[in-house]
A and B are shown apart, each in its own frame.
Chain A
Amino acid sequence: MSAPVLVRNLAKAFYDEGRGEIKAVDSISFECHEGEIFGLLGANGAGKTTTLRMLSTILAPTSGTATIMGHDVVHDPEGVRKNLGFYSATTALYPRLTTRETIEFFARINQYPSKRVPERVEYLIHRFGLEKYADARIEKLSSGMKQKVSVARTVAHDPAILIFDEPTVGLDVLNALDVQETIGELRAEGKTIIFSTHIMSEAERLCDRIAIIHGGQILATDTLAGLREITGQHYLEDIFVLFVKAGQETV
């Protein structure tokens, strides 16, 4: 059976008034194995979000292919999205819905079996400790609580693949740790997770394999141990800088 996430020569070009054609993603390939956290580590503007937006079918690739659980992102976008939970700093919640309504809406819209929705909603409310806020409107919740509801709505339809695009941006240390912990738990439940970040410690702590992305290209993909072995460096920060500099020299 093929990998749950398979990306081959995926590319995306944008056109910007000032800068002309920009290759935001330049022919990248990778695959994620079942039940692993695959990290996309890169600085701002490296192409992480564009890659993940292509995987979640918001953007169409300029060239290359990508499949999620066997569904092609171009030819079967609905099939992709049914099997995918997408979370990013830009995917906000509906402020006028309650926690319960939010989870229920996303479970139903992502076509989770209708009869099992109430049970799933209760489970997630309990799972993320949202009992006290279940009937409160999102606009009334603290940012930490909103974060939890966001994760709950991402997994509402129990998708096999989860994408977390810089999930801890703008969070305080405690809330960030909370999110990291949740992502770890989701892996333990057997989810395949793509996790993008520019924070080295997060990648070190969470990711089973890490792809270093820079200038729209993947410079290296390996486990942390593998990357240490190739570079002879211990800290991920040093490994990252080494690859980026090597990449720039090659260019």
Chain B
Amino acid sequence: MNWELIRLLFLHEARMLVRARRTVVMAIVLPAIIMPLMLYAQKYSADRRERLLTGTIYRYAITGEFADRVRLLIDQTRKSLSDAQDDESGRLRQFRFVETAPADVRASLGKHEIQFYIETITGGEADKSRNEASNTQEAEPRRLRGVPVINVVYSGDRIASDVAHSRMLELLRLARQRDSLALLAGRGVAADAKDIFAVEDANVATAGQITGSLVGRFLTLFLVMMMLTGGAVAAMDIIAGEKERGTLETLLTSAAGRQEIVAAKQLAITSVALVITLLQGLNFFLYVRLKVVALPKNFELQLPTGMALALLLLFIPLAATIGSVLLMISAYAKTYKEAQMYFFPVYLISLVPSLASVMPGISLRSAIALVPVANVSVAAREILMGRPDVMMIGVTFAVMSVTAAYLMRASARLLSREDIIVPAHFEAAEFLGGAALFQKRVLRWFALMWVVTFAVALNVPVLATFRRQLLFNEIVVMMGATVLILKVYRLNPIEMLSLRPVRPVVWIAILFAIPSSYLTTLGVFQLVNTVMPAPQQLLERFAEDVIPKGMPTWQLLLYIALLPAVCEELAFRGILLNGLRRKLRPAGLILGIGLIFGLFHVMLYRIAPTAVLGIILTAIALMTGSVLPGMLLHAGNNALGVVLGNDLNLYVLRSWHFLAAFTIFGLSLFIIYRNRTPLPTR
């Protein structure tokens, strides 16, 4: 990277953006003017509505047999309002009701002469009409027999009628309460029937924690929205606009490298996004100060330096990720308009993970820590609530940094793609299909398989049982995708699934590796459990889920040992390994495929041990050039889990057991290495 070139290009981009009227108007002027205008208009309209409603005289009528009694009750209650101090009474005091006496109340309501009318119905009449209604099976609110009904009839399509009837209902409820008390008092009970016992509440959370929880839930969403909309204005112009104007080719023929060009453009987008977000933040604080926006009661945001730094640490890679996403849209589109078209769906999709903090019960110490953006959202909430999880914040930062770096690299690659620079042409792989295209697409297939596995595991109740879920994951997802990939890209199954024989000594080494690798992964599991303890409840559920009670052993062996060993090895060490083999070096392949294998095992604390197993299996597949030894090891490892199951008490095992297992396992791997028949890699 030539930093001087990046600086030069960044300043150039900044100058171009500042001089672009479209950018300045859309990004700075509009939000700075329109948002306060909208807020002011909303406040003005709300105030005016309130004034209008309180200044209006509402006309109504009362009909029915006990109209006089209701009239009296209303009068008495309204008089009593002047003494009461509560909010409800205050609001009711402001409303002015005037009773009129039209000949036909319903017609009068229809002509807007009155806002509502009160229909008084005796208990007998009400019972009669209930009997009729029950014949026609109409539902009726609960009412004891003989109790009279006061019905407020209004027209819900008119604001004045709606508001007036609500206020009258409130008034009538107060009147009912007063009347009940008077009745009780008349019979010698001088107490409020509601005060048999007092109901109170006590909140142990501080105002700072409550505010933190509120702000934390929406902070990431707000930032993502602001950065996406703010950055988009700059991003759309920055590559798509250059393509449209023909300046991209000029720039690409300069001595600046694609990496430098992308880095500078990314920096420019991120800077614009941050500046606009900052401006909007300042705007917001200004409105709060000017009382255009009202904060909730007891709002008290506490943000010590440490927390602010932690938030900053997470928001920087978040901003870089958003910048990269925007840059990729811009690079992919041929014109400014096309880029705008792509922006909206990407915007909506990007908001989804940032809503993770709104979901109840999601903690950062879960698989969510591995989901970009969603992890920042949950981490920000926990930080603002004063409960930061330092280790998981570190994991979040690492995941976000890797995501940002990967997306930046992908953006740079986009600028090297000839079908992007010269849009009339196809990339050779895209056009010819087959193995070349398979290598380009294999990761997308596995991402899709991962999403399907996740979505189904969590959301389809029919597949929630152990057997069905396993059959679905192994047969439909793993084998289905494997067969589909072979068919779509016209691949040779023997070659792509690495179905090759190996030297006999390899099989012997695998037989030794089965128990030793089992103990080694258990050791890793224990190690992980000390650093990141899995909740006891989850562990118990996990044990139940994996080894269901009452199932015959042969079935357990079939479902847990044989099926995953065959299907997963063909998918991961067959398809995935062959798809990535020419792209990555052996170390990258082993770690990458191991991690992907781990990620398919849904729960966070299962990821580490299965990733270790995945690493081992990938290394063996690379050394032997075959999936078959890995299948045996995988099946043996899982079968041991079934046979030993819960009977193996981990606490009986001492360190030297693990050490011995590790040594035997190392020796087995060494034997396999010495007898290797590898496939060529990068």
Chain B's interface size range is 20 to 34
**Whole-angstrom distance between the alpha carbons of A106 and B250 in the complex?**
10
User: In the complex, what residues of A have CB within 8 A of residue B426's CB?
Assistant: 14-17
Give chain A residues whose Cβ lies under 8 Å from the Cβ of B9: 109
* Known contacts A90-B249, A106-B254: A15-B8 contact under CB 8 Å: no
Q: Would you call B50 an interface residue if the criterion is a C-beta within 8 Å of the partner chain's C-beta atoms?
A: no
Chain A min CB distance to B431 (Å): 3
Complex CA–CA separation, A93 to B498 (angstroms): 53
- Cβ–Cβ contact A96 & B425, under 8 A: no
Task: Establish whether residues A15 and B253, one from each chain, have CB atoms under 8 Å apart when the complex forms.
Answer: no
A57 to chain B minimum Cβ distance, whole angstroms, is: 7
| Chain B residues near A58 (CB-CB < 8 A) | 249, 252-253, 421-422
Please determine whether A91 and B253 come into contact, CB atoms closer than 8 angstroms: yes
Chain A residue at smallest Cβ distance from B17: A96
Contact with A along B242-265 (1 / 0, CB 8 A): 000111011111111100000000
Q: Give residues of chain A (84-101) contacting chain B, Cβ–Cβ below 8 Å.
A: 84, 86, 88, 90-97, 101
Does A56 have its Cβ within 8 Å of any Cβ on chain B? Answer: yes
Per DSSP, chain B at the interface is: helix
* CB contact under 8 A between A86 and B16, given known A59-B418, A59-B422: no
Q: What's the Cα separation between A17 and B425 when bound, in Å?
A: 8
Q: How far is the CA of A105 from the CA of B15 in the complex (A)?
A: 12
Inter-chain contacts of B300 with A (CB < 8 A): none
Rounded to whole angstroms, the CA-CA distance of A56 and B249 in the bound complex is 10
Instruction: Say yes or no: A96-B20 contact (C-beta < 8 A), given A15-B431, A59-B422, A109-B5.
Output: yes
Min CB distance B248 to A, Å, is 9
Interface centre among B249, B251, B428, B432 (most CB of A within 10 A): B249
Q: A15-B427, A59-B418, A59-B422 are in contact. Are A96 and B19 (CB under 8 A)?
A: yes
Please name all residues of chain B whose beta carbon is closer than 8 Å to the beta carbon of A56 when the two chains form the complex: 253
> Could you say which residues of chain B place their CB within 8 Å of the CB of A90?
246, 249
Given that A15-B426, A17-B426, A108-B8 are contacting pairs, would A95 and B245 also be in contact in the complex, using a CB cutoff of 8 Å? Answer: yes
Q: Which residues of B contact A96 (CB under 8 A)?
A: 15-16, 19-20
Contacts of B246 in A (CB 8 A): 90-92
Q: Which residues of B contact A15 (CB under 8 A)?
A: 425-428, 430-432
B245: chain A residues at CB < 8 Å are 92, 94-95
A5-40 residues with Cβ-Cβ distance < 8 A to B are 13-17, 20-21
Instruction: Name B16's closest neighbour in chain A (CB-CB).
Output: A96
A105 & B250 in contact (Cβ 8 Å cutoff):
no
Q: Does A81 contact B (CB under 8 A)?
A: yes
Partner of A157, one of B8, B16, B20, B255: B255
What is the interface size of chain A, counting residues whose CB is below 8 A from a CB of the partner?
A: 37
Mark out the residues of chain B between 411 and 435 whose CB falls within 8 Å of any chain A CB in the assembled complex: 418, 421-422, 424-428, 430-432
B12 interfacial by beta-carbon distance below 8 Å: yes
- Interface contact A110-B252, CB-CB below 8 Å: no
The answer to whether A81 and B255 have CB atoms under 8 Å apart is yes
Q: Give the distance in Å from the alpha carbon of A31 to the alpha carbon of B19 in the complex.
A: 43
Q: Which of A78, A81, A93, A157 contacts B247 (CB 8 A)?
A: A93
Scoring B245, B253, B422 by chain A CB atoms within 10 A of each residue's CB, the highest score goes to B253
CB of A88 within 8 A of CB of B249, answer: yes
* B559 CB to nearest chain A CB (Å): 46
What residue of chain A has the Cβ atom nearest to residue B427's Cβ? A15
Q: Chain B's nearest CB lies how many Å from the CB of A113?
A: 13
Question: Nearest Cβ in chain B — how far from A76, in angstroms?
Answer: 11
- Contact partner, A57, options B251, B253, B425, Cβ 8 Å: B253
A136 is an interface residue with CB less than 8 A from chain B: no
B425 and A92 form a contact (CB under 8 A): no
Q: Which of B254, B424, B430 is close to A110, meaning CB atoms less than 8 Å apart?
A: B254
- Is A111 close to B, CB under 8 A? yes
Choose from B256, B421, B427 the contact partner of A109 (Cβ within 8 Å).
B256
- Contacts A14-B425, A15-B430; A60 near B418 (Cβ below 8 A): yes
Cβ of A82 within 8 Å of any chain B Cβ, yes or no, is: yes
Selected A-B contacts with CB under 8 Å, 15 pairs: A14-B426, A15-B430, A16-B425, A21-B431, A58-B252, A60-B418, A78-B257, A81-B254, A93-B250, A94-B247, A96-B16, A108-B8, A109-B254, A110-B254, A110-B255
New A-B pairs, 13, CB < 8 Å, besides A15-B431, A94-B247, A111-B5? A13-B428, A57-B253, A58-B249, A58-B252, A58-B421, A58-B422, A59-B422, A91-B247, A91-B250, A91-B253, A93-B250, A108-B8, A109-B5
Chain A residues close to B by CB (< 8 Å):
13-17, 20-21, 53, 56-60, 77-78, 81-82, 84, 86, 88, 90-97, 101, 105-106, 108-111, 153, 157
